[in-house]
Amino acid sequence: AMTYEPRDQLALWILTDPSRPRLVGELRLVRSLQSVSLRYAPSWLAAGFALSEDLPLIDAEFAPTARNSVAGAVDDARPDRWGERVIRFIDKPSRLSLLEYLYYAGDDRFGALGVSTSAEHYLPRRLGPLPVLGEAEQIYQLVRCIQAGEPVPQALKRLISPGATLGGARPKALLEIDAEQWVIKFSDSDRADYPVIE
């Protein structure tokens, strides 16, 4: 697997048709605000659409004015609080800016935007196969480790990456049951609480 080196630019792609990803533009780290800007690619300006009202289809760099934020609709691609914890404890990139959070989130989530290290080819962070229902107990142990800030055993790490970025603040993971994707949600507290499968 290609190792990720921190960089100040990443490419934003749209996956409305997953078999034909399309380049949307360039994401850039604005260091002064620790935020991420977007500039549409010429190909997207010619044949794309505005991602949101605050990102009109013009050739300009859209930079957020607030600290630690991402331009317009691209903000939807960032992981939630739980996803950020997973990235901090499991992936442990050598730098932790919003660009890293966007990249490590992967594209195995409910959203049409993906982040790539290349503007020529869609090269997202590849996530492993989804865990299965029989591994739910191990995932639960893993969730407890992350909540407590304890080291995560190497053997358990692969269970959590997929689904790190499903919306919401509660710990959750994607599972595969009978070839369908299911979401398993855990309690975010220490109460004895059974996970919910949706």
| Amino acid letter, 191 | R
Segment 29-52, tens digit of pLDDT: 999 999 999 999 999 999 999 999
Same domain, 104 and 143: no
Segment 164-194, tens digit of pLDDT: 545 555 666 666 777 777 777 776 654 444 4
Q: Is 111 exposed, middle or buried (0-12, 13-18, 19+ CB in 10 A)?
A: middle
Q: First-to-last CA distance in the chain?
A: 32
What pTM did the predictor assign? 0.70
User: Considering only CA atoms, which of 4, 154, 1 is closest in space to residue 93?
Assistant: 4
Segment 54-81, tens digit of pLDDT: 999 999 999 999 999 999 999 878 887 7
Q: How far is CA 125 from the centre of its chain?
A: 9
Q: Which domain holds residue 139?
A: 133-197
Same domain, 68 and 107: yes
The average confidence (pLDDT) of the chain is 80
Whether 126 is in a domain gets the answer no
